[in-house]
Amino acid sequence: MDLSGAKLKNFFHKNIISILSIIFISTIVIFLNSFPNWLAMKQTPEGMSFTGQASWFDPWDINVYVSAISWGQHHSFLLENTYTSQPNHPIFYYPVYTTIGMVFPKTNPFFLFHAFASAITFLLVGTLAFSTKKILDRRKDSLIAVLIMSLGGGLGFLIHIGQDSIDATMTSITLHSAFQRAHEGVALSAFFLALFGFYFWLEKKQIRWQIAAQISLVISLIFYPYNIAIYFLTTGIYLWITYGQLSFKNREWQTWILTIFLGITAVLGMALNLGENSSFSSVVSQSLSHPSILSFIFGYGLILILFIYQLIFIKNKTRIQTFLSIWVLCSFSLSLIPIGLSRFFLRGLYVPLALLAVFTVRYLSQRYFPKERVAAKNLLLGNLLLLVSMTSIQIFTERIKDIKNENPWYYMSNSERSTLNFIRDELPPDSTILTFYYMGNQIPANTNSRVYFGHLLQTPKAEEKQEKINQFYSGEMSEEEAKKFLVDNNIQYVYAGREEGEVNYPFLKSVFKNDAVNLYEIN
What phi, psi does 494 have (nearest 5°)? -125, 125
User: Residue 2 has what pLDDT?
Assistant: 58
For residue 255, give every residue at least 6 positions away whose Cβ sits within 8 Å of its Cβ, in sequence order, or none: 201, 210
Count helices and strands in the chain by DSSP H and E runs: 21, 7
Give the Cα separation of 421 and 74 in Å (integer). Answer: 16
What single DSSP character describes residue 82? T
Q: Are residues 70 and 109 in contact, defined by beta-carbon separation less than 8 angstroms?
A: yes
Instruction: For residue 481, count other CB atoms closer than 10 A to its CB.
Output: 12
Between strands 518-522 and 508-513, the pairing is antiparallel
Domain boundaries, given as residue ranges, for the chain: 118-403, 411-522
Q: Report the pLDDT value the prediction gives residue 236, as an integer from 0 to 100.
A: 96
In the sheet with 450-451, reading across from the earlier edge strand, the strands are 450-451, 432-434, 493-496, 518-522, 508-513
* 182 and 116 Cβ atoms separated by less than 8 Å: yes
CB-CB contact of 190 with 221 (8 Å): no
| H-helix or E-strand spanning residue 512 | strand 508-513
The structure's pTM equals 0.94
- Indicate the SS3 state at residue 94: coil
What is the three-class DSSP state of 521? strand
1: helix, strand or coil: coil
| pLDDT number for residue 341 | 84
Of how many residues is the chain composed? 523
Inter-residue contact 115 to 352 (CB < 8 Å)? no
Q: What is the pLDDT along the chain (523 residues), one digit of tens a residue?
A: 455 666 667 767 677 888 999 999 999 999 999 999 999 999 999 999 999 999 998 999 999 999 999 999 999 999 999 999 988 999 999 999 999 999 999 999 999 999 999 999 999 999 999 999 999 988 999 999 999 999 999 988 887 654 578 888 888 899 999 999 999 999 999 999 999 999 999 999 999 999 999 999 999 999 999 999 999 999 999 999 998 877 777 889 999 999 999 999 999 999 999 999 988 877 777 777 778 888 889 999 999 999 999 999 999 999 999 999 999 999 999 999 988 788 899 999 999 999 999 999 999 999 999 999 999 999 999 999 999 999 999 999 999 999 998 899 999 999 999 999 999 999 999 999 999 999 999 999 999 999 999 999 999 999 999 999 999 999 999 999 999 999 999 999 999 999 999 999 999 999 999 999 999 999 8
Torsion sign, CA atoms 334, 164, 54, 281: negative
**Residues forming beta bridges with residue 432, ordered by sequence position:** 450
E-strand ranges in 45-103 read: 48-50
The beta-strand segments (E) located in 9-165 are: 48-50
- Cα Rg of the chain, angstroms: 25
Q: Is 517 exposed, middle or buried (0-12, 13-18, 19+ CB in 10 A)?
A: buried
CA distance 99 to 73: 9
